[in-house]
């Protein structure tokens, strides 16, 4: 996953990130390699939890 810096989470651009997600959130978006997406995540302890995913044009 390529990404810009995520300053509120202290992440630099292209830093490795692992996001925990419920299949109920991922299935409707059906992301595929190469898709551009916008994520909303929340940090919970040492994990990032997916709150929302949206495909971008």
Q: What is the pLDDT of residues 6-27, one digit of tens each?
A: 888 888 888 777 889 999 998 9
Over 90: is that where the pLDDT of 1 sits? no
C-beta of residue 36 within 8 angstroms of C-beta of residue 29: no
Reported as type and span, the H/E element at residue 26 is: helix 23-29
39 vs 36: CA distance, rounded Å: 10
What SS3 state is found at 6?
strand
Q: Higher pLDDT residue, 42 or 14?
A: 42
56 pLDDT band (50/70/90 cuts)? very high
Over 90: is that where the pLDDT of 52 sits? yes
Domain extent listing, the chain = 7-55
The radius of gyration computed from the CA coordinates of the chain, to the nearest angstrom, equals: 11
Residue 46 DSSP one-character state: T
């Amino acid at each position: 996953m390529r990404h810009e810096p995520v300053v509120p989470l202290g992440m630099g651009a292209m830093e490795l990130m692992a996001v925990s997600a419920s299949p109920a959130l991922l299935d409707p978006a059906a992301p595929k390699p190469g898709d551009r997406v916008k994520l909303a995540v929340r940090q919970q302890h040492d994990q990032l939890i997916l709150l929302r995913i949206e495909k971008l044009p």
